[in-house]
Structure 1
Amino acid sequence: MTWIKTVAYEDATGRLKMLYDRIKGPDNNVDNIMMSHSLRPHSMDGHMTLYKYVLHHTGNTVPKWFLEAIGGLVSHLNGCAYCFDHHLTGMARLLKDEAKSAAIRSAITSGDFASVFDSREVAALTYARKLTVDPAAMIEQDVLPLRAVGWEDGEILEINQVTAYFAYANRTVLGLGVSTQGDIIGLSPNNSDNPDDWSHT
């Protein structure tokens, strides 16, 4: 599951067991990306807090499915199949539209955003793509097209934070050899109304 030692759910005790119980899905399943933190439960706590607040918080106004699509793009650009598969599957569960989900997946991998996304979404994905592949080249003018198509500054912050979060998550996965073996693909902490509810459904 990873290149480093991890603690299985049934072997966890103390704070680690408490965290596992907060984030587990069906049949006590814990995603491997979270299990990769098991030797340092405090970093799992930090990761889950960031993940929940950036992607699954009631204070967000950007649609959750689109935040997941941005995560899929960033993961594709970073070569992280784990996050790409998890989050585009999660996106598809939210959309409940197999044809649209497949078209989005194709547009993300081809880079042809306009084939399926509207102008607001294309602007956001273009921003996320540049921030991912050439972050040092970002300039203030990269924000202007987002405003021009109607994104408010708080929403631009959401787009920025999701892009930045996935850079972190992708490097966690790629740097530790996290695989999807044993994972239930596409689960997420879907209770956005309660920021403290981390359970995966």
Structure 2
Amino acid sequence: MKNLGTKTIETKRLILRKFTLSDAEDMYKNWASDDEVTKFLTWPSHSDVEVSRKVIDTWIKGYSDDKNYQWCIELKSTGEAIGSIGVVDYKENIKAVEIGYCIGRKYWNQGITSEALKALIEFFFEEVGVNRIESRHDPLNPNSGKVMLKCGLKYEGTRIKAGRNNTGICDVAMYGIINPKI
């Protein structure tokens, strides 16, 4: 693998880029403070913009590591930060990454998350040289799985009571895709 860190990637509607502290207001307003957005995530809704600022500050400090992959999803038409997508688990020994994402509720069901994930799949396969990309979701959140399927990941099974999110202990539906060129 050739780790490149969080480099800017453009799609038709999006700019996937490193977070800056100026994204804290958008992060808080658009997704991090919304209990409906964070319902199936492993971190609680942010109580105020300062929490968002601290999270972003941690991510910014991590950008010096070329194995760190954490993107802000910016909508080109408005310049607004509307979500995040990044590597939540890095398995160097098998050349694999697990990708997690979240996006503001007002942007759901518009193909935005799929557009971002497709761009990352291409980036990780073509430029980084990963062998496998995986993702997971709580089966009670089927729309997350639809994004994975739309992007070519295959359903690999459900692990019973194998995870925890803001709803408590949960099942975990697993998806994966293998680099066709390796």
Q: Which of the five TM-score ranges fits, normalised by the shorter chain?
A: under 0.3
TM-score, scaled relative to structure 1: 0.25
Q: Which has the higher contact order (CA 8 A, sep 6+)?
A: 1
Q: Which has the larger radius of gyration?
A: 1
TM-score, scaled relative to structure 2: 0.26
Higher strand share: 2
